[in-house]
Amino acid sequence: MSARLRGICGSLAAILVALLLVRSFVAEVWRVDSGSMLPILHGGEGLSEHVLVKYGAGDLERFDLVVLRQEEGGDPIVKRVVGLPGETIRIIGGDLIVNGQRLPPANPRPAPVPVFDDTLLLLEDHFHMNPRAARPWRYRDGEWHLDARGVPPRSDGAMALLHLDLRDAHFDHNGEFVPGVLQMNDGSLACSFLLEESTGFLRFRLLEEGDVFRLTVRPLKDDRALVRLLRRNPRTLASKDPLLKEELLLEREIPLTIGEWHGLRFSNTDNHLVAQVAGVRLEMGYDQNEPYPGRTGRGDRSVGSRVGLGGEGCLARFRDVRVLRDLYWSGAGEHAVSGGLSLGPGEFFVLGDNSRDSRDSRTFGPVRLSNVIGRPVAVVWPPSSWRWLAPTAD
């Protein structure tokens, strides 16, 4: 055998030994066998992704992804940690309650799930638009142009209103829309906007139960704008004073240049409103939603268009429109559903992101640290799906 061939064989042997050592002591690749973690991980029918799992649990934090050994045997499963040792966990109306409270706004959370993206779906197919003869909306050169100057004041004639409900929908690995079933509590709207002149104002809305939250952006002089956050519900509408039929939650002047593009994000998560407009963040919390006063579908608590964007008396453009939803934990199972569940030392409560198709701690109860095989850190197969897995949003 030549020296070169011996060298090649030696290198291959070293690589093989290294791979075996990595698999034995550091990490391994696991196949995702179910859809319980959709859409962060795809498995089951159709595409089954493979994840690189780093052995060991380390110091687990809320919303970390873990691979677990099942007590009754069977293949390992991937879940998300939501409850930590010493905490009392309960699921109420789809929300996670920790020690009797919703999570504070500063607590890192999983990234919201897109349910509409104008790069994948047509805005006009999923939003009610142009309800009047004036036809204020026009699509041109990849942007939506809005001329709301001829629309009657205090009307929705220049609003684009989402006609799909916020359900546990998602986009699959091919970018195809997958409809959902369970109604979501929390949603958010993201877009870019450009005001062409200093007239009128922009309007954005989120609806949850009996509350309509409105965000308005009114251009002022000297590259400034007045941003207002308002709330309307059956309680405010019952007021005899017309000025009190909509509650002003907060307002602030911000820098904003006419003729330039600006980013916007308007979200409601766990009864906490956040508006990010042109790089300025406004936020506030509220105790609870006002119930919807009429009849709802079974299991639903909200009726009507959940998301909208548009304006009044303005000339504007929009692009990069996205609607997103929060994770929702259904009331299936018995643990932490009918009452609070207290976790002992070394116990964790885990859930699947695709709540209606997940067998997790709601069914089999808390898991112990010794059940944790490791943490999935990346999707490594198929190559087209390669990505790092981040437990929480940046």
For the stretch 270-326, pLDDT in tens is: 999 999 999 999 999 999 999 999 999 888 999 999 999 999 999 999 999 999 999
For the question of whether the overall pTM of this predicted structure is more than 0.75, the answer is yes
Q: How far apart are CA 323 and CA 321, in angstroms?
A: 7
> Where do the domains of the chain lie, and which CATH numbers do they carry?
23-108+331-388 (2.10.109.10), 113-325 (2.60.120.560)
339 with 90: CB under 8 angstroms?
A: yes
Q: What is the pLDDT of residue 20?
A: 37
Angle at 178 between CA 181 and CA 167, to 5 degrees: 30
Q: What is the pLDDT of residue 26?
A: 67
16 with 30: CB under 8 angstroms?
A: no
Q: What is the pLDDT of residue 132?
A: 63
Q: How far apart are CA 208 and CA 305, in angstroms?
A: 9
Provide φ and ψ at 233, rounded to 5°. Answer: -155, 180
Long-range contacts of 380-384 (CB under 8 A, 24+ apart): 380/29, 380/50, 380/51, 380/52, 381/29, 381/49, 381/50, 382/47, 382/49, 384/173
Average pLDDT over residues 109-113: 96
167 with 180: CB under 8 angstroms?
A: yes
Query: Strand 101-102 relative to strand 95-98: parallel, antiparallel, unpaired?
Result: antiparallel
Residue (of 306, 293, 277) closest to 126 by Cα position: 306
Residues near 14 by Cβ (< 8 Å), separated by ≥ 6?
none
213 with 207: CB under 8 angstroms?
A: yes
Considering the candidates 79, 188, 302, 358, report the single residue annotated as catalytic. Answer: 79
Considering the candidates 36, 188, 305, 361, report the single residue annotated as catalytic. Answer: 36
- 79 part of the active site: yes
Average pLDDT over residues 99-103: 94
Residue (of 159, 158, 280, 284) closest to 229 by Cα position: 284
